[in-house]
Amino acid sequence: MVKISFVFWFMYTLSMVANAQVKIEKESKVMRSDVPSNAVSWVEEVFDQKNRMNWFFETSGESKSYEAKFYHKKKKFSVEFSMDGTLEDIEVLVHWRRLPKKVKQNISKYFSDNFLKTNIRKIQIQYTGKSENLKNWIDTNKSDDIIIKYEVEFYGKTSSTKKLWEGLFDKEGELLMKREIILTPSNNLFF
């Protein structure tokens, strides 16, 4: 009986760990009026932008959030807020060639050590910290007291599979976390 209980517990724990390594995300567009007012006012004040901003409601597993997507100074931004309107992070879309040399070297090494072939789909620089520090970064471009990470979506091919992954790398380009991205049917529409 003890062996059966242990085996059941082990299999359950293993399945929970495996599930934690998967990202199933769904976004749906929402009206500005559906978003907490403190989130809307923060974005409008900091970025001095009211028009050409799209708001989304995002679910990823148990996590729910609101996200503003827009262009600012010719860069594509996404600003994520918790359900109560607390700022979570700011992400800026960036091209591979714009990353610091050391970051590119470390990410490339991770790719070559773990995959036969990779193809980058999207890279975002993720900025987190106190909302006042992030506001200051937007105003002055000084990144004191801000945590910088790189979120990289990529196809990775091994000898047995080819999957879409999301890797989160630290400011030096060292892997912090990796999870498989499962695209929902709404992400796979073909026209």
* DSSP reduced 3-state for 52: coil
The pair of structure tokens assigned to 104 is 């590119």
The pair of structure tokens assigned to 87 is 């700022």
What's the pLDDT at 35?
A: 97
The pair of structure tokens assigned to 123 is 């890279």
Q: Are 63 and 76 in contact (CB under 8 A)?
A: no
| Nearest-angstrom CA–CA distance, 75 and 134 | 16
Phi, psi of 6 (to 5 degrees): -65, -45
Phi, psi of 110 (to 5 degrees): -60, -45
What's the pLDDT at 10?
A: 40
| Nearest-angstrom CA–CA distance, 108 and 40 | 38
DSSP for 122-161 reads EEEEEEES-HHHHHHHHHH---TT-EEEEEEEEEEE-SS-
What's the pLDDT at 183?
A: 74
What's the pLDDT at 3?
A: 45
pLDDT, tens digit (0-9, with 9 covering 90-100), for 35-60:
999 999 999 999 987 778 999 999 98
* DSSP reduced 3-state for 81: strand
The pair of structure tokens assigned to 188 is 């796979």
Q: Are 23 and 179 in contact (CB under 8 A)?
A: yes
What's the pLDDT at 52?
A: 83
| Series of mean pLDDT values for 10-residue runs along the chain (191 residues) | 42 40 83 96 88 89 92 94 97 97 98 97 97 92 90 96 96 97 62 42
For the chain, which domains are there?
Answer: 25-91 (3.10.450), 94-191 (3.10.450)
What's the pLDDT at 4?
A: 44
